[in-house]
Amino acid sequence: MDKSQAGEDWTDFYNTDIVSWCDPKKVTVERFAEFAGSEWIQKILLYTKIKPAEEVRILEAGCGTAFYSLVFALIGFNVEAFDYNPGALEFANKLEKIARTANPEIKIQTHVGNLLDIQSQTNTYDLVFNQAVLEYFRSPEERKKAISEMVRVTRPGGWVAIIVQHTGHPFRKYWEWLGWHGYTNQPPVALQTPALLIEELKTQGLIDVTTDGIYPWNFFFFWPSWHLRWKWTRDMVYYLGRILDRYGYMPRALSSKLATQFLVVGRKP
């Protein structure tokens, strides 16, 4: 398998067993069910309009621990997933065992693979997606090739969905300076904004390209953690965030600009 700069950047993270955001010791069946209702999953379903069915084929192209793939499998899709790092798939195998306690018949296959050379036939999947992958492709040539491969294996009428960190967020350098977890303990990233990613997907021939933020209201609480000093302030900020996530309306154009992560979706004609 040819080397990928982005994949190599993540090798040390998986080899040192520090994937704290998805610790198999802490993942439960209930967490899978809860995440199925999250904006990461629900906004992909909203904009692609795909419905759970075994004949609907999904590929997660750069799956890491395959948590997202397992959620899609549990809600009824036929899922394949690959990652560049065998270490990532060791985590994925542990999580799959947990998921199968909820449904032993879920349709999911995982394997080692390279986003720059996807080992699938052209026009295969109804949805090809990834999350927190494309921003690590710092080489413009590799990014272009990665997106091209995602489009190639998507069937006509199918969808490509990409979720990335908003690395061009106006406050990102401030958060890095503060040492926020998630901004200082990861490989370097490329500049990524909604406008840039929309243009990249359109350049690859996708149509009906749209964008939206993921939990955009969280931006307002992404500041020095003064509120963590006392239980009452922690609870207040937590419940305020939940209320805004559920009932607060933010226009999509503003949502994608303020959110710390955003989604871009496009359809293959």
Q: pLDDT under 70 in the chain at which residues?
A: 1-2, 12-22, 178-185, 222-228
| CATH code where residue 262 lies | 3.40.50.150
DSSP conformation letters of 27-92: --HHHHHHHHTSHHHHHHHHHH-----TTSEEEEES-TT-HHHHHHHHTT-EEEEEES-HHHHHHH
Containing structural domain, residue 80: 5-267
Residue pLDDT, tens place only, 78-98? 999 999 999 889 889 999 999
Residue pLDDT, tens place only, 141-198? 999 999 999 999 999 999 999 999 998 888 877 777 766 655 556 778 888 999 999 9
Q: pTM of the full predicted structure?
A: 0.89
Give how many domains the chain has, as a whole number: 1
Do residues 87 and 110 make contact, with C-beta atoms less than 8 angstroms apart? no
Whole-angstrom distance, CA of residue 200 vs CA of residue 104: 39
